[in-house]
Amino acid sequence: MPEIPLTPRLKMVLGLIPDAESCWDIGTDHGYLAAALALRGMRVTATDVNPGPLGQARKNLIRFGLEDRVRLRLSDGLAAMEDGEADCVVIAGMGGELIAGILSKGTKNVRYFVLQPQSTYYELRDWMSGNGFRILRETVCREGQRYYTAMLTEKGPAPPLTEEEKHIGPVLLRDRPPLLGEYLASRRRETEKILEKIGGAETPRREECAALIEMYKKYEGEDG
Ligand SMILES: C[S@@+](CC[C@H](N)C(=O)[O-])C[C@H]1O[C@@H](n2cnc3c(N)ncnc32)[C@H](O)[C@@H]1O
C-alpha cells in the first residue's frame, strides 16, 4: 500500500483527534485525513460539498486500498449527518469564518470537534466563545515558511474568551509551546505588511493593526 502523504499540518490535526469510535472529515478533498483515521480503526465518513474533491478522495482511497473502510458523502458541512451519528468531527484547511458558518448550521450532538482554521482565527474563536465550545487542546506547527494552528474542542459551557485569547488561542497562551514565539512573529510580520499598505490613511484598521502588533510582541519571546 502506498504511504499516505501526511504533511506536518495534517499530522498535527491527526494528533488532536481523540480515540473515538466514529469520525466525520468535513471538506475531505484529497481524503488523506480520512484514510489515516480509517487505519487507526475508526469508523470514518469523508464529506465534501464539491463532487470534484470527493472524486479525488475516492481515487486516493482506492490507491491506499481503503475504499471499503471510508464512507464518502456529498454534503454541505454536517447536513448529511444524522443526529448523534459521530463522536468527532474534523474540519481542517478552511478559513475560520467558513468553519464557524458550517458549525452555526447545527452540531448534531457531536461531542468533539477538531478544527484547523487557515485564517480568521479571531472570528472562529469569537463565534465558539459565544456558542458553547470548550477549547481543550491547541497546537502549532511549521510547514516550510508557514505556521498552522489547530484545536481540539468539546461542546459544553466554557468561560468567555478574552480578546487576546480570541486572537492567539487560550491554550497556546496558557501552555506557551516552543513554536509560539516564531508563530506570533510571523503573524506580527503579516500585520506589519498590512500596516505598511495602509500608509498614512486615517482608518480604524490602522489602530487595530498597531494594537495587534503590540500584542504579538508582548508574547513573542515567551514560549517554552
Ligand atoms: C483546502 S481543502 C482542505 C482539505 C483537507 N481538509 C485538508 O485539511 O487538507 C477545503 C475543502 O473543503 C471543501 N468545502 C468547502 N466548503 C465546504 C462545506 N461547506 N462543506 C463541506 N466541504 C466544504 C472544499 O470543496 C475543499 O475540498
Contact assessment for residue 161 and residue 167, using Cβ atoms and an 8 Å cutoff: no
Local confidence band at 158 (pLDDT 50, 70, 90 cut-offs): very high
Q: Whose CA is nearest to atom 7 of ligand 1?
A: 93
- Ligand 1 centroid to Cα of residue 97, in Å, is 13
What are the φ/ψ torsions at residue 44 (nearest 5 degrees)?
-120, 135
pLDDT tens readout for residues 182-197: 999 999 999 999 999 9
Helix axes 204-220, 180-198, angle to 10 degrees: 160
Q: Which three cell numbers stand for residue 116?
A: 484547523
Rounded distance between C-alpha atoms, residue 25 and residue 10, angstroms: 12
- Ligand 1 centroid to Cα of residue 51, in Å, is 11
Give the single-character DSSP code of 201.
Answer: -
Q: Whose CA is nearest to atom 9 of ligand 1?
A: 93
Q: Whose CA is nearest to atom 25 of ligand 1?
A: 50
Local confidence band at 224 (pLDDT 50, 70, 90 cut-offs): low
- pLDDT at residue 199, as a whole number: 87
Does the domain made of 8-168 have the CATH classification 3.90.1150.10?
Answer: no
Rounded distance between C-alpha atoms, residue 154 and residue 84, angstroms: 14
pLDDT tens readout for residues 94-152: 999 999 999 999 999 999 999 999 999 999 999 999 999 999 999 999 999 999 999 99
Length of the chain: 224
- Ligand 1 centroid to Cα of residue 26, in Å, is 7
- pLDDT at residue 1, as a whole number: 79
Helices of type H across the chain: 8-16, 32-39, 51-63, 96-104, 121-130, 163-168, 170-175, 180-198, 204-220
- Ligand 1 centroid to Cα of residue 222, in Å, is 34
- pLDDT at residue 25, as a whole number: 98
- Ligand 1 centroid to Cα of residue 94, in Å, is 6
Pocket test for ligand 1, best of 50, 94, 99, 116 (most atoms within 8 A of CB): 94
Q: Whose CA is nearest to atom 11 of ligand 1?
A: 27
Could you tell me the residue ranges of all domains in the chain?
Answer: 8-168, 176-224
The neighbouring-strand residues paired with 26 are 47, 91
Q: Which three cell numbers stand for residue 187?
A: 503573524
pLDDT tens readout for residues 62-89: 999 999 999 999 999 999 999 999 999 9
Local confidence band at 223 (pLDDT 50, 70, 90 cut-offs): low
pTM: 0.97
Between 31-45, 63-77, 114-128, 201-215, the lowest mean confidence (pLDDT) is in 201-215
Inter-CA distances, 51 with 41, 67, 75, 134, 193, Å? 26, 16, 9, 33, 37
Rounded distance between C-alpha atoms, residue 207 and residue 38, angstroms: 47
Pocket test for ligand 1, best of 14, 49, 59, 76 (most atoms within 8 A of CB): 49
- pLDDT at residue 177, as a whole number: 95
